[in-house]
Amino acid sequence: MPIISRGFRGRRPSGDHELPPGQYETSDFPVLSAGPTPRVPLDEWEFTISTETGTEYRWSWDDLMALPAETPTVDLHCVTKWSKFDTEWRGVSLDVLFEDVESAADFTLVHSYGGYTTNLPLEDLLDGKAWIAYEYDGGELPAEHGGPARLLVPHLYFWKSAKWVRGIQLGLEDEPGFWESAGYHDYGDPWREQRYQGD
């Protein structure tokens, strides 16, 4: 029998925050990437939502900047076990981008500049749960952290918050992304320690 059970939450950090099981708090913002950092000029940047029927909705950088922005303050939890509290962002809610999108899909595959992908249920991108974030800590989002824009889905492990986001493909069936194809969990709930397939 293990000395520490899977439900062990560790020492409660200071303030009103609680660490998911197996995590530790950091004040740093570690940079982890699956490949080289893409450099995307703003005049070439584009974000697309593609439905299961092939309909496409497109936004340029200027289009994105013209949409109403929000400034969420959220906690981040990385599958490599670090957590960072009270991170401050600015971006556009996915609710705004999906407002006129017609789809019967339940699943999404998020695509990034550089070829990275990750899968999420559509419901995890809506109802105030996700943003296309383009500022961090009061300034432009640095390229090493996913700038000019990244997906921000703070209730799941941070690999689901795809850096350098360029589009979301809607589908009727779940399709694994980059890390999910390599054995990471399809969903990635930090509170249930869904790090790998079978967790």
| Alpha-helical runs (H) found in 31-190 | 61-65, 94-97, 178-181
pTM confidence score = 0.89
- Residue carrying structure tokens 């950091």: 26
pLDDT tens digits, 61-90: 999 999 999 999 999 999 999 999 999 999
Phi, psi (rounded to 5 degrees) for 58: -125, 145
pLDDT tens digits, 22-52: 999 998 887 776 667 888 999 999 999 999 9
The verdict on whether omega for the bond into residue 148 sits within 30 degrees of 0, i.e. cis, is: yes
Question: pLDDT at residue 57 above 60?
Answer: yes
Query: What domains can be seen in the chain, in order of their start residue?
Result: 41-192 (3.90.420.10)
Residue 198: what pLDDT?
84
